[in-house]
A and B are shown apart, each in its own frame.
Chain A
């Protein structure tokens, strides 16, 4: 009885026909010898139309490109080559279906070119094309989500400006840069005056709205791309002004203070007479001079002390104290 499994004539052709990837065999002159059904379906070229033709005449846009070189290397040097989707996107004009062809959206491809030894003939090569569209789509989703998450980890959920963590990292970096390049570094510590009373009077929801408006107004005043404003906590903000001396820093602080007063946000909860009962801010300024680097904590401490001096001296003002 015939129990031995046998390869029937034509079986390999059938396998070649049904495998779910593109397979093309080229002879030593780069002429198409085999062209499977997957290739016919996605390229729009039936095997009968392409067999015997130069592969690069079928796809002239591939001439001189990496695939051209990969085929050359396989046929001449006996070396295999891979073309990744990431570095080549979709080199061969292959389409999932008629609609994709009409709109010009190609299948995302990973291509492998392998030399093929053929008995009694000069070396051939096999081109395999895999459809990686699903993997590409999955990674794009992941990447978008990762970017979204990253921006969330570094921004304040309420006001949208940088958060405390972002400030800590940026401060560390700017302090090192100031030390290395021997440039000044100024920071501002900003606090909304009588904000607890504001929340008590207007409620937390309106308190939040006001925090958002103040943060937005402060951020809009900073002109240079390297300047950073962050929410330090509660109603407290912090500003990093790299390469800025104490006098310029104080001018920036004063314009920020004026800007907030100009918003003219009513504050009926403030003690009578204070800033005509509007929202105001107190600001402490501290500068690390060039050639005199200090610890980050010392710089923050100085700005903090300046802020408390401003509070003690009646609020709605700018005070400078250097470390």
Chain B
């Protein structure tokens, strides 16, 4: 598994925090209330470990929104929340009580839009880092076990998952979620090289 130096880790965390910061501003405008998002940490995991980490609470279902991106590198990006947290998020964003135990069709669309905003922002900052454009697909909504969602959205076994912890704060509620980037090994090497290039540029500037 890829080991990041502390410096590389911190650089990526900073990059993703810029991304989710933009997403939070976009969402604040939609709901006219302050939305705050941050990425406290990131990790590289293999797919089985990633699934195990997401499914840790008694195999609870996970709600996911995925988008496929390709260009400078290919990745499947997935925003994931435990199912009950996805209800909280939509309820907080929409500002009305949700009397159903599952997201309704219209609420699933709202969740897809939230995922679309967050994923585009995160991938956008990555694309800036690579100084290369990526093409994105429209978001897809998933509900199922963490294994189902991670395997429904990628093919080969020799992939790694770059897992971002995301803290989402709205109206004094704090909700933890994840963004997973499923990357193949060549994309991973590229990523590490680009992070080094980014660090060198910062040091050169400083």
- Chain A contacts to B: CB under 8 angstroms: 65-66, 69, 73, 77-88, 110, 112, 114-115, 132, 135-136, 139, 142-143, 146-147, 150
- Stretch with Cβ within 8 A of A (4 or more), from B54-62, B92-100, B149-157, B183-191: B92-100
Known: A73-B120, A80-B136, A88-B30. 6 other contacts (CB 8 A): A81-B116, A84-B110, A86-B94, A87-B30, A87-B113, A142-B104
- Chain B contacts to A: CB under 8 angstroms: 26, 29-31, 71, 90, 93-94, 97, 99-100, 104-107, 109-110, 112-114, 116-117, 120, 123-124, 127, 133-139
Residues of A within 8 A of B137 (CB): 80
Least CB distance from B74 to A in Å reads 14
Q: Is the CB of B124 within 8 A of A79?
A: yes
Q: Is the CB of A66 within 8 A of B104?
A: no
Chain A residue at minimum C-beta to C-beta distance from B29: A66
A139 to B102, CA, bound (A): 13
Q: Is the CB of A84 within 8 A of B113?
A: yes
Q: Is the CB of A115 within 8 A of B106?
A: no
Least CB distance from B141 to A in Å reads 10
Give the dominant DSSP class at A's interface: helix
A147 to B98, CA, bound (A): 9
Residues of B within 8 A of A69 (CB): 26
Q: Is the CB of A82 within 8 A of B109?
A: yes
Knowing A73-B120, A114-B138, A136-B106 touch, does A83 contact B26 (C-beta < 8 A)?
no
Knowing A66-B30, A86-B90, A147-B99 touch, does A81 contact B120 (C-beta < 8 A)?
yes
Residues of B within 8 A of A147 (CB): 97, 99
Residues of A within 8 A of B97 (CB): 147
Residues of A within 8 A of B123 (CB): 79
Knowing A66-B29, A147-B99 touch, does A84 contact B120 (C-beta < 8 A)?
no
